[in-house]
Amino acid sequence: MYYVVKFLVRVYFRIMYSIRIEGKKNLPKDTSYLLACNHRSYADPPMVGSFAPGRQTFMAKEELFEKKLFAWLITSLGAFPVSRGKGDTGAIDTSIDNLNSGKNLMIFPEGTRSKDGKVGRGHTGAALIGARAGKPIVPVGICYGEKLRFRTRVTIKFGEPILPQDYVESREQPNPRQLVKLKNRYMADLKLLVEGTPEELPDSGAKEEGNE
């Protein structure tokens, strides 16, 4: 059912918008991974998920599961509920379990939608999940104009994977400062993909630019 719904959603987005994919070759082929995406609209999870290969999962606020039809749709696309603002450790455990079972995870580290299209500061959730699961983090830039309209040109850019073990020493008890360094890295890469302007990385070493 997942791949049937995914195909139909991809066809829908192909009709609605002019979709361009860049950097797909950067996606790891031998392991599951996190997709750390900037957040522009509610369309982001199904749009990115329908064009990324493999099986994707993503967190969605629990209120979105209140309407049965919509809950069925997003669940079919890999969504699972999270209680925002309540320190939902269960969602983190579910994320790690999904990654360890071979599913990929989409996560939006800004935590909320951007109103001006620019990339915000971001949170360490993706860093924590990536570090504990030992899975690479792939920054994903969702790029378009001010608003999504019919036939808007949308470019989805997959950046180069970042290995958490290069920044965080312990998987069992990740050091908070090391998690911040990892977060700084993927947020800087994400900003570069979306805005084309590099950002300084405090104490995290030199950053390499993606190849697309």
Tell how far CA 92 is from the center of its chain: 14
Give me the pLDDT at residue 134, please: 97
**pTM, rounded to two decimals:** 0.88
- The helix-helix angle for 89-100 and 125-133 (nearest 10°) equals 40
Confidence of residue 206 (pLDDT cuts 50, 70, 90): very low
Confidence of residue 198 (pLDDT cuts 50, 70, 90): low
Length of the chain counted residue by residue = 212
Task: Give the span between the Cα atoms of 4 and 30, in whole angstroms.
Answer: 24
Least confident interval from 83-92, 134-143, 152-161: 83-92
Q: How much of the chain is in helix, strand and coil states, percent to nearest 5?
A: 40, 15, 45
Q: In the chain, what are the domain boundaries?
A: 2-195
Which CATH homologous superfamily contains domain 2-195? Glycerol-3-phosphate (1)-acyltransferase (3.40.1130.10)
Give me the pLDDT at residue 61, please: 87
Highest mean pLDDT among 70-84, 122-136, 185-199: 122-136
- The helix-helix angle for 125-133 and 176-195 (nearest 10°) equals 110
Query: Is a pLDDT exceeding 50 seen at residue 96?
Result: yes
> Among candidates 37, 53, 6, 56, which has minimal Cα distance to 155?
37
Give me the pLDDT at residue 85, please: 62
Both tokens of 47, joined, read 């749009």
Give me the pLDDT at residue 146, please: 86
Q: Which residue has the higher pLDDT, 168 or 115?
A: 168
CA 123 to each of CA 90, 104, 108, 135, 206: distance values in angstroms, whole numbers, following the listed order: 18, 19, 9, 18, 21
Both tokens of 31, joined, read 């392991």
| pLDDT single digits (tens) 41-93 | 999 999 999 999 999 999 988 998 999 999 999 999 999 998 876 566 889 99
CA 6 to each of CA 3, 10, 99: distance values in angstroms, whole numbers, following the listed order: 5, 6, 19
- Do 137 and 130 meet the contact criterion of CB atoms below 8 Å apart? yes
Give me the pLDDT at residue 83, please: 82
> Among candidates 120, 122, 126, 131, which has minimal Cα distance to 195?
120
